[in-house]
Amino acid sequence: MPSDSSSALLIVGHGSTVNPASSAPTLMHAATIRGRGIFADVACCFWKEEPSLRDALFFFRDPGIREVYVVPNFISEGYFTRTVIPRELELAGAETERPNGQLWKYCDPVGAHESMTGHLLERARAIAPGVDESTATLLIVAHGTSLNDNSAVAAKEQAEKIRALERYAAVLNVYMEEPPQVSDWVNLTKTQNVVVVPFFISDGLHSYEDIPALLGIENASTGGESRAHELQGRTLFYSTAIGTDSRFADVIIEQANSFDQRKQVLQSAS
């Protein structure tokens, strides 16, 4: 467990120049963690908003802070977590020692946490409470990108885990920018009921507009109520992004904790 007197937490989000809702979950989780007093300081930075990742290099000037846990509030281990964040934060690897002796620890993204399967299942159940799962198809929607093949891996792995539970008639991972594409959902599914969960951190433009448009939904709403849409002779249930769940604050903390736990295991084995 990080020390509350000598450790800080930096949560890295994507952000957006056109939709302030994109950064809302990251800011919310940071406020929750800050209120728990676990770290001496908790800050956020973003790729597409202020404060920027480069700004974060000037955070945590308190000489009492000796280590900084950097947790990407991203779903996948892809282009941003492997290329952009390390480059912008000048991270040399898992651990980076700054000139002042401060040690920055680069943790796994929240989407890699073992609890993601449970979060996806809970969100799917909440959006379609009266639907018999054994007769429905679950679609896990991710972005996908040609920039990094790993971008699609997280959704694929979650689909495989849920498929193995044999709760749904079918479980598919689909993408916005690569096959199998969410826009082809009618041909990909065979069941009357289709439950769609965006595997995203925030309810930004992708979940508000892009994915609904690809599905054929008009005037997609947000909020806690069930959203059932009659399309193509099917009933489609569309969820909010899972990263808006308040429990993601716990996931961020656990990703920081697991960094040191893995290090201890490796040291014991060597």
Whether residue 261 lies inside any domain: the answer is yes
Give the total number of structural domains in the chain.
2
CB burial readout 27-51, b (16+ within 10 A) else e: bebbebbeeeebbbbbbbbbbebee
**Residue 223, pLDDT score:** 44
Residue 8's CB: how many other CB atoms inside 10 A?
23
pLDDT, residue 235, reads 96
Q: Which residues contact 160 (CB under 8 A, 6 or more apart)?
A: none
Summarised one tens digit per residue, pLDDT across range 174-232 is 999 889 999 999 999 999 999 999 998 887 667 768 899 999 997 655 444 447 899 99
Identify whether residues 240 and 258 lie together within a single domain. Answer: no
Spatial distance between the Cα atoms of 23 and 12, rounded to a whole number of angstroms: 10
Are 105 and 127 in a shared domain?
A: no
* Pair 121, 236 in one domain: yes
Specify the amino acid at residue 87.
R
Instruction: For residue 2, tell me if it sits in a domain.
Output: no
pLDDT (0 to 100) of residue 190:
97
Looking at this protein, which amino acid is placed at residue 49? E
Same domain? 105 vs 192: no
Q: What is the CATH number of the domain that holds 33?
A: 3.40.50.1400
Residue 222 near residue 209, CB atoms below 8 Å: no
Helices 153-165, 116-127: inter-axial angle, 10-degree rounding: 70
Domain residues for 25?
Answer: 7-111+247-269
Same domain, 236 and 132: yes
Q: How far is 49 from 229, CA to CA, in rounded Å?
A: 33
SS3 content of the chain, % helix, strand, coil (to 5): 40, 20, 40
**Among positive and negative, which fits the CA dihedral 206, 209, 210, 212?**
positive
Rounded-to-integer distance, Cα 138 and Cα 195, Å: 5
Give the mean model confidence (pLDDT) for residues 49-56.
96
Which regions of 158-241 does DSSP assign to beta strands (E)?
170-175, 193-198, 228-231, 234-238
Same-domain check for residues 233 and 123: yes
| Whether residue 268 has pLDDT greater than 70 | no
**Are residues 231 and 133 part of one domain?**
yes
Question: For the segment 139-186, what is each residue's pLDDT rounded down to a tens digit?
Answer: 999 987 655 556 588 899 999 999 999 999 999 999 998 899 999 999
Distance between CA atoms of residues 166 and 263, nearest Å:
35
Same-domain status, 234 and 252: no
